[in-house]
Amino acid sequence: MIKAELRKKYMQKRKALSVDEAFSLSERILEAFLDYFKPVAGQKVHIFTPIRKFNEIDTKIFIHAFLEKNIRVFVPKVIAEDLISVEINEDTLFETSNWGIEEPGSNEDSGEHHFDYVITPLLYGDQKGNRVGYGKGFYDAFFQSISPASKKIGINYFSPDEQIDDVWENDIPLDYLVTPTEVLSFFNGLE
């Protein structure tokens, strides 16, 4: 299927989830992430904050778990046409952007380019690590600006059942996809 069709299909599937179902699946995805990657104190995680109206995975539970483990947490903030990384802690004040995204009040870019994990929003990810986002291209540009050693990890409620047919040369694939039931690696067994 092409991205536009997949975007529509998976947005509808996501919206069909009840609040309780979405939270339960979010918890299972967090458990799968923690079990597989075993993040430790001092590591750096870049993670998006959820857009509630799109019923995105509740990454606030991820952020809380990371901060409890003394893992450094960075969240994206869009300034003009750029995505910056703002480091946060338990005391960070958030405000809601025009897009309905909770972002830190600070506009100070951390300047960080090496993350242990970059947890990435998506509507759909296929079995090759290709992803369908919202079509703005922020994460493809962001991926080009960070260390190639940073693990790019998509998280999704749904397993990859369909191939994305219109991948283009500037699309940067994920390294992993975490769902409530599995963690897929796209390194062909090499890490």
pLDDT for 186: 92
pLDDT for 81: 80
Tell me the one-letter amino acid at 49: T
pLDDT tens digits along 99-154: 788 999 999 999 999 999 999 999 999 999 999 988 777 888 899 999 999 999 99
Task: Compute the distance between CA of residue 173 and CA of residue 167 in angstroms, rounded to an integer.
Answer: 10
Task: Compute the distance between CA of residue 77 and CA of residue 107 in angstroms, rounded to an integer.
Answer: 8
pLDDT tens digits along 16-74: 999 999 999 999 999 999 999 999 999 999 999 999 889 999 999 999 999 999 999 99
pLDDT for 188: 47
Task: Compute the distance between CA of residue 75 and CA of residue 57 in angstroms, rounded to an integer.
Answer: 15
pLDDT for 113: 94
8 Å CB contact between 119 and 59 = yes
pLDDT for 137: 77
β-strand 72-79 against 44-47: which pairing, if any? parallel
| 71 contact partners, CB below 8 Å, separation of at least 6 | 39, 40, 41, 42, 43, 44, 45
For the purposes of burial, counting CB atoms within 10 Å of the CB of 20, is it exposed (0-12), middle (13-18) or buried (19 or more)?
exposed
At residue 189, does pLDDT exceed 50?
Answer: no
